[in-house]
Amino acid sequence: MLNVLRKGANTFIVKLLLAFIALSFMVWGVGDYVNNRSNEPFVEAKRWSIGPREFAIAYDNEFQRLRQRFGNALDKKTAESMGLKQKTLNAMINRNLLLAKSREWRLTVSNESLRTIIANTEAFQNDGKFDPQRYEVVLQNNRISPRDYEQKLKTDLVAAQVKEMLSEPLFIPNLLIEDVYDLDNEKRSVDILTLPFEAFHGSIQPNDDELTAYLEKNRDHYHSPVQVRLAYLVLSADSLKGSVSVADAETDEYYNEHKEEYRQEEKRQARHILFKIGSGVTEDQAREKAKAALGRIEKGESFEAVARELSEDVSASQGGDLGIIVKGMMIKPFEDAVFAQPANSISPPVLTPFGIHLIRVDAIFPAAMRPEQEVKAEIKTLLTDKKAMDLVYERSSVLEDQVFSSGDLKAIAQDLNLRYKETELFSRNDADKLEAIEQETKFLDAAFATTKGELSPVIELPEGRFCVLKILDRNEPRPLTLAEAKEQLLKNYRQEKSTAMAQEQMEAIKKDLAQGTPWDKVITAHPALKKETLTAFQRVGQTPKMDPAVRTSAFKLTLENPVFRTIIETPTGLSMMRLTNIEKADSGKLTEQERKKIALHFKEVLGVEQLTAYLDGLWQTSAIRINYKMLDSF
């Protein structure tokens, strides 16, 4: 319930919203900054549409995100095989469906909540604190004005609210929680016979002819990487800060035009105790619980202690603490009660859609305007960065003209007082040894996409940087010789042969067991086998340490059929398994804390299913029309 109640506070929901916002930047949000006026919508519904350029930008951003996650080797063809186009399209449609629903429900976000979210965004922080200068620079780097970004962010926060509300399941049955506890806490013991691959390595001694044949058979896997040697120059906003100045009149003007950004609304720090309604509990019963709790507090017990014991909200473990609250963060009945109370007072029982609350206001922070003198240094830094960013874009045009007319990077660097560097030969595999700017995805893409002797276009990088590359030398992939590949060849050859030999021998062992040969006799007959006993381990966990395939297989067995008939392959060998004992869990030992943890897990799982089902219904009723012919053209 707290996740819905606290739509902009500094606990779990902030992290959820920040993750949602980050996703919107990558998949949904970029297109909203594009002035799309296509006559033919890519996707069209009753009250909204998605243009082709909007989709193209969102798709490209999601592709770049995947490249950062899986490595620069990922190409568009592979991304398409992963269904990236359809996933991006589905995400954009789902977002528009949620936003349409938010408009129907008239949801909004306060300015103070917006500022809280921005301040908690890691991209805008230095040393864990919000940095206005960094905020301006990051936005300018992405060609987004603060006004446009904040309007877009409000939209994303509203969509996140809808998503959170629709993802909140109403009830988790106790029987289901106990069944999950029993499954998670059941313990098993097994005997394992393992035939390690390394037992065969000593007998596998290929000569050069055999390795040469293996190399030719697997030639596609043994090539040298592309290598390049290049020269580049860098133009950066940081290098231009010393050439710009900000007058006092400019800081005065900025402060007067942006006063609202420095207004601090009234804040209150509060705690609450929740008694839920539902699952057999009536409103009257919940009120009686609240009154009894209030009586205990009035007799001298601390609010925090009673909250820890009785509250049915996730904030119970923190003594009911809700942190700092501003208007617009809470649902109305709760907010009205919080802002109507004096400090250090406890409210009478308050009814909301989630139950009955007792609320205590711990502190009140009145509304205030930060004086200009207090923020003057911040404004000056912000304006300096802005001017440097504007100047770097102007200089980038000059740079582009000189590159086009001259092409001599060293001379251009001297003329414009830019940094110039020539590298040694390197491949993509060497990226972690390069300078930070040389590790940028766009830098590497240009380096390996440009032919020898050619210049790259002017490349825009994050944080107001531009660079141009010239490929001085380029070594294309070539087949590796036996001498160059021998170490890796020998390793792969032995692994392949030892796996085949182990498989053949383990099949014989499996046959012996199936014919009734005793377990211990099988061990004696095959000296290379290693026996291991693992006792009292659970379905999920890290102890004792074992391969996940072994752990999973153990919980497929019964005492009636104790031998696992499938050979288990692990990175180090092949195994057979025998179940020796099952220790059932005692659900009577299920603590309240464990019960809440399992319920929270189910809420997350069921919440996703609930949201998916709701979105499926919206898809069916929203008359969505998709231009699949246009989709295929991307």
The CATH code belonging to domain 266-366 is: 3.10.50.40
CATH for the 227-243+383-475 domain, from 3.30.1330.30, 3.40.50.300, 3.10.50.40, 3.30.2020.30: 3.10.50.40
Cα angle for residues 372, 377, 381 (degrees, 5° grid): 125
Are residues 47 and 29 in contact, defined by beta-carbon separation less than 8 angstroms? no
Task: Check whether 22 has a pLDDT greater than 70.
Answer: no
pLDDT given at position 84:
86
What pLDDT, in 10s, does the model give residues 228-267?
A: 999 999 999 888 988 899 999 999 998 888 887 787 788 8
**pLDDT tens track for 586-630:** 888 888 888 888 888 887 787 788 888 888 888 888 888 888 877
> Where exactly does CATH 3.10.50.40 map onto the chain?
227-243+383-475, 266-366
Residues 162, 574: Cα–Cα separation, whole Å: 50
**pLDDT, the chain, mean:** 85
C-alpha radius of gyration, the chain, whole number: 32
421 pLDDT above the threshold of 60:
yes
Residue pair 166/612 in contact by the 8 Å Cβ criterion:
no
- The amino acid occupying position 445 is D
**pLDDT tens by residue, 56-71:** 878 877 887 777 666 5
Give residues with Cβ within 8 angstroms of 190, minimum separation 6. 533, 534, 550, 554, 557, 577, 578, 579, 580
Mean pLDDT of 185-204: 93
Q: How many CB atoms lie within 10 A of CB 367?
A: 11
Helices (H), 218-352: 248-257, 283-298, 303-310, 332-340
The answer to whether domain 2-172+594-633 has CATH 3.40.50.720 is no
Overall average pLDDT of the 295-321 stretch: 93
Query: If DSSP codes are grouped into helix, strand and coil, which group holds residue 543?
Result: coil
Going through 18-152 in order, the beta strands assigned E by DSSP cover 43-44, 49-50, 125-126, 129-130
SS3 track for 222-253: CECCCEEEEEEEEEECHHHHHHCCCCHHHHHH
Residues in the chain: 634
pLDDT at 279 over 80: no
Cis peptide leading into 544, omega within 30 of 0?
yes
Give mean pLDDT, residues 82-100: 87
Q: Rounded CA gap, 576 and 554, in Å?
A: 10
Q: What is the Cα–Cα distance from 200 to 135, expressed in whole angstroms?
A: 60
Asked if 465 and 236 touch (Cβ cutoff 8 Å), the reply is yes
d(C-alpha 183, C-alpha 185), whole Å: 6
Give the Cα separation of 557 and 534 in Å (integer): 15
Q: How many CA atoms lie within 13 A of 24 on its CB side?
A: 25
- Of 629, 484, 625, the residue nearest 93 (C-alpha): 625
Task: Give the tens place of pLDDT for each residue, 26-38.
Answer: 333 333 333 334 4
Lowest-pLDDT choice from 185-189, 256-260, 358-362, 550-554: 256-260
> Two tokens at 366?
């009145």
Q: What are the tens digits of pLDDT across the range 523-564?
A: 888 888 999 999 999 988 777 788 888 999 999 999 998 988
Question: Nearest-5° angle of CA 47, CA 53, CA 54?
Answer: 50
- Answer yes or no: are the C-beta atoms of 12 and 167 closer than 8 Å: no
pLDDT more than 90, % of the chain: 41
Interacting residues of 234 by C-beta distance below 8 A, sequence separation 6+: 418, 419, 421, 437, 465, 466, 467
The residue behind tokens 């086009």 is 404
- Residues 6+ positions from 274 with CB-CB distance below 8 Å: 1, 311, 312, 313, 354, 355, 356, 357
Tokens of 307: 């909250």
Q: Where in the chain do CATH 1.10.4030.10 domains reside? A: 2-172+594-633
Is residue 14's pLDDT more than 50?
A: no
3-state DSSP assignment of residue 594: helix
- The Cα 564–Cα 557 span in angstroms is 7
Pairing type for strands 350-352 and 187-196 reads: unpaired
Cα 326 from Cα 119, distance rounded (Å): 15
